[in-house]
Amino acid sequence: MVVATDEIRTYCMFNFANINWTSSATAGAVTGGRGGKQSALVGFNGGNGTGYFELPYSAEGNSYKLVQYGSTQIAGRWLARIDEQIQYGGCSNESRGTLETSQQYGNMLGGFALN
């Protein structure tokens, strides 16, 4: 997971190369980590108790599909703006929304420090 910010907007990127389990053994998963009574949750949390967002296929028992699909043109890559309202973005015409940074131009002597 990569989190990037410009102090105004915040983005999160997940890169899934391989998902080999979708449930824990204590939840009844069969050999290989598939099945079970409680499937894996995949997403992110704002830390405020109400800002949790699940990725597609989360809690459905087929989170392994996150490797095959994505919100960008690269399989397994999910990119979202997460500062206010969750917005998926990517590099294709099928992307929902646009991802922008707050400054279009920067000073050649440097910008501002990130906390």
pLDDT tens string 33-69: 566 666 777 887 766 666 678 888 887 777 888 889 9
H helices present in the chain, as ranges: none
Distances (CA, A) of 106 to 10, 75, 100: 18, 32, 15
Looking at residue 30, its pLDDT comes to: 63
Q: pLDDT-based confidence at 113, cuts 50/70/90?
A: very low
Q: Which residue has the higher pLDDT, 6 or 98?
A: 6
Distances (CA, A) of 28 to 20, 23, 24, 69, 80: 15, 8, 7, 27, 32
Cα(7)–Cα(35) distance, integer angstroms: 41
Cα(12)–Cα(51) distance, integer angstroms: 14
